[in-house]
Structure formats: C-alpha cells, structure tokens
A and B are shown apart, each in its own frame.
Chain A
Amino acid sequence: MSAPNFNRREMLTAGVLVGSAAALDATDRAQARSISGDVPWQEGQANKPDIAKPGTYLFLTAAEAACLDAALSRLIPKDELGPGAKEAGVTFFLDRQLAGPYGEASHWYMQGPWKKGEPTQGYQSRMTPAELYRAAIKAIDAHSGDKYSGKTFSQLTAAQQDEILKGLEKGDIDLKTVDAKSFFTMFLQNTMEGFFSDPLYGGNRDMVGWKLIGFPGARYDYRPYVKKHGQKLALEPVGITGRPAWKPA
C-alpha cells in the first residue's frame, strides 16, 4: 500500500473521542483535509455517542421539573401496563437535551427576518427549544394559576391537567408569550424520544419503553429470526451500553 498523503496530527484530532455533538462539529470543521492514496481509519476510534452524565438537572429549575413531571405523567401515565414517562426518566432526558446542542438549536437555521408563515412552512419561531420550554412552562403555570386560584400546573388534578394539555394540543389556550400548539408538538415529540430512545440518553430507564411494546433494542443480527413467522421471540432488550445483567463474553 502506498504511503497515505495525509496529515496524521489532523487525523488524530478529528478521530479522537469527543464528548458532545457540538464538540464533534467543531472538531470536524476545524480542518479542511486532503486525502489521497489511502482509506484513512484508526483502530479503536469509533465515533461514540454522547452519554448523558448522571447528576442534578443542568437546565431545568425545580419548578420547571415539577411541571414537566406532572405533564409527562399524563402524556404517558403509569398504569397496569407499567411505568410511564416520568418513571422512565423522561424529565431527566429532556433536561440533558435542552442543556445540549438540541436545546440551543445549534443545527437550525436561526437567521431572520422572522415571520409567522403558513403551517406548511413549519417552525418559524425565533426561540430555541430551550427558550421555548422555559417560556412555555412559565406560561402554563401562569395559565393554571389564573384558572385555578393560584395553583401551578403540577398542583392540579389529573382531569384538570388533561384539560389544559388538550387545550395546548388543539391550540385553544392562548399562552401569550409562546405558541401553544408549537410547544405541545415539540413536547410530545421529545416525550416519545425520551420514552423510546436508547437509555444512554437518560430516558427509557430500565428499557421500560421498549419492554412495553416488545422492541428488542440495539441488536444488529436478526438472521436466526427472519423465518420465524408468527412466533413471539421474547428477546430481552439490550441497549448500546448493554443492560444491567448483561455480561459481555
């Protein structure tokens, strides 16, 4: 094989394990590279996901977390089928997402001018997801207080909470500072993400979302099962980082 015409220092920098998507982008963009005469790769340098670090909330305040806990308990409730979104750690998932590149809309086009637009033109708010959550939670608690003598959303009964959530979903409630429907759409999507994504992001705790439906998780070889038509496979789910009882051979 011919010697690669490739700057080794640059490759090591670009291939190094990085802690977040934002850092990865910065690293990627730092160098323009010329590659010739080889297919560059580095043993043991696989591009790892950004694992949510345990600990206290990085973005949410206690009041915001209480509001989200309450709302998540209504979107995917704990019931006889098993844990709900709150128990699955979706609040923690949302915190880590909102504290990271997603929360700051780092990949989104965020230049003005800003116009409302038609529904077919999609999201047109100048708020990042983090800003939208912050403003919406505040407005939802204010709306709850106006309607139910000073109570925050988390202090309402389940029926009262459902009524507000339905109002947000339909856009019937005017939150004044934010568009209720835009927020609800984002919140519901993020809830699904937190309930069904790999546990390494902090939600889907104990893979409860996957167990609920029978998804076996991050497996990559189903060849023995292709022809097992109509058979329940009952495969124990596994995440990218394994599972608690899992011992690699």
Chain B
Amino acid sequence: MAKKLPAKDVVLVGFGWTAAILGQELTDAGLDVLAIERGAWRDTSTDFAVTFAQDELRYMWRRALFEEPARETVTFRNAPNQEALPMRHLGSFLPATGVGGAGVHWNGQTWRFLPTDFVARSHNEQRYGPLPADMTVQDWGITYDELEPHYDRFEYLCGISGKAGNLKGQLQPGGNPFEGPRSRDYPNPPLDMVYGPTLFEAAAKATGHKPFPCPAANMSRAYTNPLGVEMGPCTYCGFCEKFGCGNNSKASPQTTVLPVLMRKDNFELRTECEVLRVNFDAAAKRATGVIYIDAQGEEFEQPAEMVIMCAYALHNPRLLLLSGIGMPYDPKTGQGAVGKNYAYQITSGVDVFFDDKILNPFVGAGALGVGIDDYNGDNFDHSGLGFIGGGYLACWDTNARPIEHHPTPEGTPKWGGAWKKAVAKNYLTTASISTHGAVMSHRNNYLDLDPTYRDIYGRPLMRMTFDFTDNEHKMSDYLTDRATDIAKAMNAREVHAKKRTGHYSIVPYQTTHNTGGAIMGADPKTSVVNKYLQSWDLHNLFVLGACAFPQNAGYNPTGTVAALAYHTAAAIKTQYLKNPGFLVQA
C-alpha cells in the first residue's frame, strides 16, 4: 500500500525543459509545485565540469547521460504484422534521464515551425488536393500567430544566437526569409562562422538559394536572460550533442531556469523517484495525483490539484496508457487517440571532400552552421513531386569527435591500410551537408503497450510500430538531390551522397526527435489534448512535449516544445486557475 503524502498544488512528472518552464511559471503564480524526476540531480560544475566534459567515449558511446534500457526501453517493429522486440541498447535515438532531461545533451538547434506546418492537412489539401487515405496528418488546432509570443519567450530565456529573416512581415537581408513573422530579432547575434559552412553559404547563393546562419542555443557572447541568469560565451569546443556544457554556454534547464527555480520556497524536486501511474477520481473527470516509487522501492501516493506530464515524448503516452487515461489508438479501426500518429524525422547527408581546404572541423558548436529553408514545409511547389512536406538543408560544424566522425570517400573499405590512409587524408578537409526531413503521420505508425516485455517495475514496455513511408523516401531523396546540387557547386574533389534507403532501423543514431502519441487537436475523437495541451478526459491533467505534435515538421522540435509549454503555462495562469475546468469545450 502506497504511503499517502500531503497534497501539492501541482505535480510535474519528469524534470527537463518543459517541467523547468512550467515550474518557473506556476511558482511565480504562487502555486506549491513538486517535480518528480526518475534520474539523479545534476549540476554543471559537478557533472559536466570543463575538465571532464570533452570525453567522447564516456558520454556518447558509454551513454553516461542517457536513459538505461536495463531499466526501461521500447520494443520495436516496422509493421503491425511483425513481432516487436526490445531495443536492447540505445541507437537511433537517445532519451535522457536525470535533471535537465534531454535539454542537457541537445545541440541547441532552436527552430520555429512554419505557419503552414500547423495547418498541414488543410493547407496541403487546399493546394494539392486530397491526401492519401492512410496519411493521418492533422491540423494542430493552434496557429503560428498564437505561438509567436511564446517562441519569443523561449528564445530570450535561452539567449538564442541568430539573425531574423522576417520582422513583423518585413524581410531582413541575411536571415531566413521563409520563417513566420517574428515580433523582434534574436537576443544575440549569430555565432562566428567556421570555414566549412561559409563554403556552403557561397555555393547555396550561387545556385539561387537563400542561406542564413542557423539559430543556436550556443551563446555568441555573454548573456543575462530575463530571469537574471548569466551565461558565458561559447568556446566552440565541439562537445554539445550528447554532452553537458561545462561552460554555461549552451542553454539548458541548468543554465537558464534552475538557478532561480531551485531557490524558491514553493518549489520542491524529488530525484530518483519514478512516477508509476496517474490516479483519477471515480467520475474519471479529475486526476487526483500520482503514485511513485523511490530508489529504495517504497511506493508513495502524492495527491495534487494538477498533474502535468513533462517526461520525454515517448514516456508521456506510455504513462497515459499505463494509467488507463483516454482511449488507446487502434490502427485497424482508426478509433482512439492515445498512441496515435507516432512520427520521427528522416535524415540524410552529403559529404564534400576537398583536397586543398583545411576546415578544422573540430572547431565547432552544436548549432553552428549555415542552412537553407528553400525546401522545407511548403516553401516550394510540390506539384507533381508525389510527396508533401520537406526539411532544411544545413552545413553544420557541430563537432569532429573522431570515434563518430572520420569520413571516407565512397568505396573505401571500413578497415585496413586503405581505410587508414583515407581517414588520415580526409579528416581535416571534409564538410558535410545534412538534410533534416519531416515525417508525416501514417495509419500504421503508432505506440501501444507491448504484450510481452516489461520494465524493471514489471510494467509493460511501450511498443513502437514505425516505418518510413513512400512520402518520406520521395521527400528525403528530393532533399538529398538538392543538397548534392549545392555540394557540387562547392568545387570539391568529390561528393558522396548518402541517401536514406530501406526500412527504418532502430540501430544507427539518427535523431532524438520522437513525436506524437498524445497529439493535440480540435476534436477529442482524433486527439488526446486540446490546444492548451490539456487532456480531453481529465481537465486538471496536462501532457506536454513533442508527443503533442500531430506529425513532425522538418525542424528540430525543442523550440516548438518550449513554445507550447509557455502557451500552456499562460493558459493555466490566466484562465484555468480562475475557473478550473475544460478550457476548450468538446
């Protein structure tokens, strides 16, 4: 029997980006807030000290900051007629554990989605006609204009380095002309650019594209955010993604919010405690709190007036299913919404090998690069192409950590003397253009509970059923061809395009951009939460994160995840607290 604890106003499940934002906003509103985090306390000076952070083996390959499959993993299959098997070690994506969540080990690539991304179904159908029957793309139930002030708040919280392309409808030279109108410029100028991306920039311009410096949560100068938290200038060490920043130069919960939030008397954090399920009342109208288990194996009931799920995108839908909240999605009938529209990202790359240009690729930062948005979303005419959606192309210089990064030309063996010569010859002189493609939702791509495999607490694992569809392959091939056009204009010795072919595989790392499963929308029959990320079933339950995306756009998700979190916080503060109940009538 779980020991019942004194009630709190708010329980946050998990303590990464969205929980930090909600914790800060709701404690400001005077609420008594408790965050329950399954992992350990982590702070910059202890856990990511500059003297130890640059350790590729420990953090990337021995997974020091990531979730341990031994405790919890997913099972995976490509199609409903296969048997799902557990992902026994991490590969394709790298969810975090511990304070700060994946916000600790991200690169800092901080985008806004396009205005048309939020109306993906209605916009595309209006322009191109009906979508294929199995493509379960939906409108978000929210518009870019509604989210704009919240994107802005996150960009100023983080001190994003970048260049505006559209200020209140006026196009700005040097910025991204395709972005939605923004109310003001980024808080910091773009990072200084290393050599490789400048070669891409020139070739992109010469081929008629519109390059711009990618928006970065790596500081281009010292910055004090609106909460008064100070960050240091980025030192371009090239250890961002998969690493914590020892220099307070990459925006993370630790470097932007926690120094203020942790000191508040009306905030409490419990670490090494895992929420097992959310409880609700007999009428199934209100959540009553959560059950969690601590590191000693003791169970507690934590009552709360509000429960806000802030765990990773894969974990919130699972917690809904384990708690019996909402109707699970059934791909056969299309009924139910929990687990529906799991999506991901489709990526590819083009390596550009120079003979004469020393690029020093180890001088890098997580979001240091030049991109083009000419082929993202509906920024180009898709007539006759056979797909919708797109992605950005970018020449990043995020790192050249050598276990992961030692490019060789096409046809080079993977080992032996010829391999060694190729690696030595090309390491300093190779650039890469990556494509970052959207994934549209599909009837057979979904999440549910696995019938066989269990986590360390005996709960069913999440089962992921996912494959790339024709839409993704056609789109990714198109993006890769456009990247190859630009690569050829870079006047290199040789160009090697690496298209994404075949079935989706859980093995090679691609991106930690898992989306869907608790999607937002305007209709409770086809979505789990409304535009405020409020459950359609329990009005005091909110489900945050990329699990709310009805399908994935051609960008990294964190900017939109955080903007949605600020939007939710504002709705709770200005509407819900005054009149607790459903903010949207079903």
Closest CB of chain B to A85's CB: distance in Å?
9
| From B62, B402, B415, residue with most partner A Cβ within 10 Å | B415
Residues facing A in B215-254 (CB within 8 A) are 233, 235-239, 246-247
What 0/1 pattern do residues 107 to 138 of B give for CB contact below 8 A with A?
Answer: 00000000000000000000000000000000
Binds B, one of A56-64, A106-114, A145-153: A106-114
Closest to A32 in B: B294
For residues 412 through 465 of chain B, which have their beta carbon under 8 Å from a beta carbon of chain A?
414-417, 419-421, 423-424, 427-428, 452-454
Would B85 and A198 count as touching, CB distance under 8 A?
no
**Do residues A226 and B236 form an inter-chain contact, with CB atoms below 8 A?**
yes
A38 touches B272 (CB 8 A): no
- Interchain CB contact under 8 A, A121 and B85: yes
Residue of chain A at shortest CB distance from B61: A193
Q: Is A209 an interface residue (CB 8 A)?
A: yes
Residues on the B chain within 8 Å of A209, using CB: 402
Q: A47-B47, A109-B86, A225-B360 are in contact. Are A14 and B56 (CB under 8 A)?
A: no
Q: A110-135: which have CB < 8 Å to B?
A: 110-111, 113, 115, 117-124
Among the listed A34, A41, A201, A223, which residue makes an inter-chain contact with B45, where contact means beta carbons less than 8 Å apart?
A41
* Inter-chain contact B263/A39, CB cutoff 8 Å: yes
Rounded to whole angstroms, the CA-CA distance of A79 and B41 in the bound complex is 47
| Nearest A residue to B266, CB-CB | A36
- B88 contacts A110, C-beta separation under 8 Å: yes
Is A171 positioned at the interface, with any CB of B under 8 Å from its CB? no
A32 touching B270 by the CB < 8 A rule? yes
Interface set, chain B 41-95, CB cutoff 8 A to A:
41, 43, 45-47, 49-58, 61-64, 68-70, 73, 76-78, 82-89, 91
- Segment touching A, from B172-180, B190-198, B206-214, B570-578: B190-198
- B271 contacts A32, C-beta separation under 8 Å: yes
Q: Which residue of A lies closest to B421 (CB)?
A: A81
| Contact status of A215 and B70, CB under 8 A, knowing A197-B57, A220-B247, A223-B236 | no
Residue of A115, A220, A225, A231 with most chain B CB atoms under a 10 A cut-off: A220
B265 and A2 contact, CB distance less than 8 A: yes
A49/B55 in contact, CB under 8 A:
yes
Q: Are B235 and A123 in contact (CB under 8 A)?
A: no
Nearest A residue to B294, CB-CB: A32
Which residues does chain A contribute within 8 Å of B383, judged by CB atoms?
none
B489 within 8 A of A: no
- Contacting residues, chain B, for A108 (C-beta < 8 A): 69-70, 88-89
CA distance A229 to B424 in the complex (A): 20
Given contacts A212-B424, A215-B427, A232-B358, contact A35 B41 (CB under 8 A): yes
Cβ of A92 within 8 Å of any chain B Cβ, yes or no, is no
- A47 vs B98: C-alpha distance when bound (angstroms): 15
- Residue of B50, B235, B265, B267 with most chain A CB atoms under a 10 A cut-off: B235
Stretch from B147-155, B369-377, B500-508, B529-537 forming part of the interface with A: B500-508
In the bound complex, what is the Cα–Cα distance between A42 and B51 (angstroms)? 16
Over the window 54-80 of chain A, the binary record of Cβ atoms lying under 8 Å from chain B Cβ atoms (1 yes, 0 no) is: 000000000000000000001111010
Asked if residues B56 and A107 are in contact (CB atoms below 8 Å), the reply is: no
* A76 / chain B contacts, CB cutoff of 8 Å: 415-416, 419-420
Q: Is A244 an interface residue (CB 8 A)?
A: no
A162 at the interface (CB under 8 A from B): yes
Per the 8 Å Cβ criterion, residues 229-249 of A in contact with B are 229-233, 240
Q: What residues of chain A lie closer than 8 Å to B63, measured between beta carbons?
A: 107
From residue A236, how far is it (CB to closest CB) to chain B in Å? 13
CA distance in complex: A214, B329 (Å): 52
Question: Is B403 in the interface zone, CB < 8 Å from A?
Answer: yes
Per the bound structure, the CA–CA distance linking A229 and B57 in Å amounts to: 29
- Shortest B452–chain A CB gap in Å is 7
Contact of A40 among B41, B76, B294, B359 (CB under 8 A): B41
Contacts of B294 in A (CB 8 A): 32
Q: Is B284 located at the chain interface by the 8 A CB criterion?
A: no
Chain A residues within an 8 Å CB radius of B362: 215-216, 222
Q: Are B89 and A123 in contact (CB under 8 A)?
A: yes
Would you call the interface of chain A mostly helix, strand, loop, or mixed?
Answer: loop
Assess the B360–A228 pair: CB atoms within 8 A.
yes
Closest approach, in angstroms, between the C-beta of A89 and any C-beta of chain B?
Answer: 14
Give A166 to B105 CA distance when docked, in angstroms: 37
Taking the complex as formed, is B278 at the interface, i.e. its CB lies under 8 A from any CB of chain A? no
Per the bound structure, the CA–CA distance linking A35 and B51 in Å amounts to 26
Flag whether B262 is at the interface (Cβ < 8 A). Answer: yes
Q: For residue B192, which residue of chain A has the nearest CB?
A: A226
Q: A8 an interface residue at 8 Å Cβ cutoff? A: no
Which A residues are in CB contact (< 8 Å) with B39?
Answer: 28
For the complex, give the distance between the alpha carbons of A197 and B296 in Å: 36
Pick the contact of A35: B73, B269, B504 (CB < 8 A). Answer: B269
Cβ–Cβ < 8 Å partners of A109 in chain B: 69-70, 73, 86-89, 453
A165 and B272 CA atoms in complex are apart in Å by 45
A35 touches B268 (CB 8 A): yes
A75-B416, A213-B428, A222-B362 are known contacts. Are A121 and B77 too (CB-CB below 8 A)?
yes
Closest residue of B by beta carbon distance from A120 = B505
The residue among A42, A81, A124, A226 with the most chain B CB atoms within 10 A of its own CB is A226
Q: Which residue in chain A gives the minimum CB-CB distance to B254?
A: A39
Given contacts A39-B258, A41-B45, contact A48 B52 (CB under 8 A): yes
Q: Mark A78-92, 1 if CB is under 8 A from B, else 0.
A: 010100100000000
Q: A212-B423, A222-B363, A229-B198 are in contact. Are A37 and B57 (CB under 8 A)?
A: no
Bound Cα distance from A169 to B505, whole angstroms: 19
Q: Mark B263-299, 1 if CB is under 8 A from A, else 0.
A: 1110111111100000000000000000000111000
A1 to B260, CA, bound (A): 12
Q: For residue A87, give the distance in angstroms from its CB to the closest CB of chain B.
A: 12
B400 on the A face (CB < 8 A): yes
The 8 Å CB contact of A233, one of B192, B357, B360, is B360
List the B side residues contacting A25 at CB < 8 Å: 68
| Distance of A111 Cα from B265 Cα, bound (Å) | 43
Q: Is the CB of A29 within 8 A of B51?
A: no
Are A111 and B52 CB-contacts (below 8 A) given A31-B272, A222-B235, A225-B363? no
For the complex, give the distance between the alpha carbons of A37 and B427 in Å: 48
Q: Out of B43, B54, B259, B264, name the residue touching A220 (CB < 8 Å).
A: B54
- Kindly report which residue of chain A lies nearest to residue B90, judged by CB atoms: A107
Contact A32 B505 (CB under 8 A): no
Cβ of A192 within 8 Å of any chain B Cβ, yes or no, is yes
List 5 additional A-B contacts (Cβ < 8 Å) besides A32-B271, A122-B88, A188-B415: A36-B265, A109-B453, A113-B452, A230-B358, A240-B55
In the A-B complex, list the 5 residue pairs whose CB atoms are closest, starting with the nearest.
A32-B294, A213-B427, A197-B57, A46-B49, A229-B195
Q: Which residues of A contact B (CB under 8 A)?
A: 1-2, 5, 14-15, 21, 25, 28-42, 45-50, 74-77, 79, 81, 84, 101-102, 105-111, 113, 115, 117-124, 162, 165, 169, 188, 191-193, 196-198, 201, 209-210, 212-223, 225-233, 240
B: residues with CB less than 8 A from A are: 39-41, 43, 45-47, 49-58, 61-64, 68-70, 73, 76-78, 82-89, 91, 192-195, 198, 233, 235-239, 246-247, 258-259, 262-265, 267-273, 294-296, 357-360, 362-363, 400, 402-403, 406, 414-417, 419-421, 423-424, 427-428, 452-454, 503-507
10 residue pairs from A and B, CB less than 8 Å apart: A25-B68, A32-B294, A45-B46, A75-B416, A105-B89, A123-B507, A188-B415, A221-B235, A230-B359, A233-B360
